[in-house]
Amino acid sequence: MPTTNNNNKSSGNDDSRTLDFIIVGGGLSGLVVARNLNNKYIVTTDDNSNIKNNKRKLRWKLFEATSILGGRLQNDDAGRKIDLDGAWIWPPHQPTIMESLVNSSTLGIKTFLQPGDDYDSSATTRIVGGAVEFVNKIYQELLTKSIVDSDKSCSSIQVDCPVIAVRRNIDHSISVELDSGEIVRANHVIFAVPPKILSCNVSFHPKLSNVKSDAMSNSQTWMAGVTKVALVYRGASPQFWPLILRGGLISPRFRSPAFQVYDGSPFSSPSSDDTGKTSILTFFTLASLSNQTNNDAMLAKDCAEQMCQSLSSDSILETSEIRKFIRSFDEFYVKRWPQERYISNETDPTEISPHPQPKKALAKSEWDGTLLFAGTETDLHSPGVMEGAVGAAIRVTKELSERLSISTEQ
């Protein structure tokens, strides 16, 4: 039977109904894999590894469980472009995301320094439009280079498609089962899902190795326990920073939800007029410590109150005036990450997990290299952050390219 590789490392089949690969998870990592492999060609060979002088485009699909792409990268839903997700990059320490995405000439990503952090040598940086712009721009690029459906979406990417099981077939292809009951076959499957969530929601037949299963079920999903709260102040307003808040670390108090706050105001160019400017305070919280755990309005009020209590008397701004201002927010937005069932396995955590450490077992492929694992938690350099999501995607792209004979030639 013809194979899709020229080095006999796998015995995938070339049946036209069998895809070359399926990506599970439409967060940053899954989309970077799609971007890296979209429009690439594969050289097909016969059973004796003879090149048949035959090239065809890679056939792939991406399945995302929820109705939107982005995973842990999401803005507010009112279009204010407030990061309610991963927000910061640290350019001097993050060469991978800088080279692949920020400095990409085709994506057109724009950045600005986190207001109030000008003293910080790690140059804490935000993305104009929110970090979800990485996802939006990659998707736009995929659209221009892919087959587009009648509703103008990319035909290879399907949302609302949770994967519930994967089965290895006798010919070593893999059947991927969606919760709708549909089964799609591929020669390789790339998971770009938090490993803990994978261990809870997807069944593997045959079972994964013990070392892999243990690493996945013992892993923690970075920031999945956090609820982010943004308080919006419309119109002309005083600058929030510098306020003496010890680098944004807000004082923990009895039954007070916030543990960090920053100036989340959107980018405005230095030349722009301040009239009508929107200022935003963004809090990281543990919502279980709010006065009424599931009440968003109460959580927003609690954050404002906690910040007022945390202001020290030697604040550069006049403290009573700024307290009054902080309490009088015009709008608020709350994103409860623990309630996202495809991100978090705990709906009401009482503590934040520590930053993950690199774990080789999370990165290791399974089923003779046909099951591959991306997603930030699997990265061996910067697990947890966006840099890790991109790093893991690049590692998996290389692993798959070595297995298949991938060519960029058109």
* Nearest distance, CB of residue 24 and ligand FAD, angstroms: 5
CA distance 295 to 265: 24
Q: Does residue number 226 form part of the binding site for ligand FAD (CB under 6 A)?
A: yes
Q: Does residue number 343 form part of the binding site for ligand FAD (CB under 6 A)?
A: yes
Residues 249-288 that bind ligand FAD (CB under 6 A): none
Among the listed ranges 151-159, 232-240, 304-312, 336-344, the one in contact with ligand FAD (CB under 6 A) is 336-344
Among 342, 358, 365, 369, binds ligand FAD (CB under 6 A): 342
Distance between terminal CA atoms of the chain? Answer: 26
**102: three-class secondary structure by DSSP:** helix
CA distance 375 to 25: 9
Q: Does residue number 27 form part of the binding site for ligand FAD (CB under 6 A)?
A: yes
E-assigned strands of 124-223?
125-127, 157-158, 163-168, 174-178, 183-191, 203-205
Q: Does residue number 337 form part of the binding site for ligand FAD (CB under 6 A)?
A: yes
Q: Does residue number 248 form part of the binding site for ligand FAD (CB under 6 A)?
A: no
Among 73, 102, 363, 371, binds ligand FAD (CB under 6 A): 73
Q: Does residue number 228 form part of the binding site for ligand FAD (CB under 6 A)?
A: yes
Residue 74: both structure tokens together: 């999401």
Q: CA of 233: how far to CAs of 159, 278, 285, 298, 319, in Å?
A: 34, 6, 19, 17, 17
Which amino acid is it at 138?
I
* Nearest distance, CB of residue 25 and ligand FAD, angstroms: 3
Q: Does residue number 86 form part of the binding site for ligand FAD (CB under 6 A)?
A: yes
Residue 170: both structure tokens together: 């006798």
Which amino acid is it at 304?
A
Among the listed ranges 48-56, 60-68, 107-115, 229-237, the one in contact with ligand FAD (CB under 6 A) is 60-68
Between 298 and 352, CB nearer to ligand FAD: 352
Q: Does residue number 85 form part of the binding site for ligand FAD (CB under 6 A)?
A: yes
Between 92 and 238, CB nearer to ligand FAD: 92
Q: Does residue number 201 form part of the binding site for ligand FAD (CB under 6 A)?
A: yes
Among 12, 26, 115, 116, binds ligand FAD (CB under 6 A): 26
E-assigned strands of 33-182?
41-45, 51-57, 60-63, 111-113, 125-127, 157-158, 163-168, 174-178
Among 22, 23, 193, 400, binds ligand FAD (CB under 6 A): 193
Site string (344-383) toward ligand FAD, x via CB under 6 A: -------------------------------xx-------
Q: Does residue number 28 form part of the binding site for ligand FAD (CB under 6 A)?
A: yes
- Pairing, β 111-113 against β 125-127: antiparallel
Q: Does residue number 87 form part of the binding site for ligand FAD (CB under 6 A)?
A: yes
Among the listed ranges 40-48, 53-61, 85-93, 310-318, the one in contact with ligand FAD (CB under 6 A) is 85-93
Q: Does residue number 395 form part of the binding site for ligand FAD (CB under 6 A)?
A: no
CA distance 181 to 224: 28
Residue with the two structure tokens 């892993």: 219
Helix (H) or strand (E) holding 387: helix 386-403
Residue 153: both structure tokens together: 């979406």
CA distance 57 to 338: 39
Which amino acid is it at 384?
G
Size of residue set near ligand FAD by CB under 6 A = 40
* Nearest distance, CB of residue 366 and ligand FAD, angstroms: 16
Q: For 23-128, where are the alpha helices, taking DSSP H only? A: 28-37, 95-97
Q: What does the binding site for ligand FAD look like in residue numbers (CB under 6 A)?
A: 24-30, 63-66, 71-73, 85-89, 162-163, 192-194, 197, 201-202, 222-223, 226, 228, 337, 342-343, 375-376, 384-386, 389
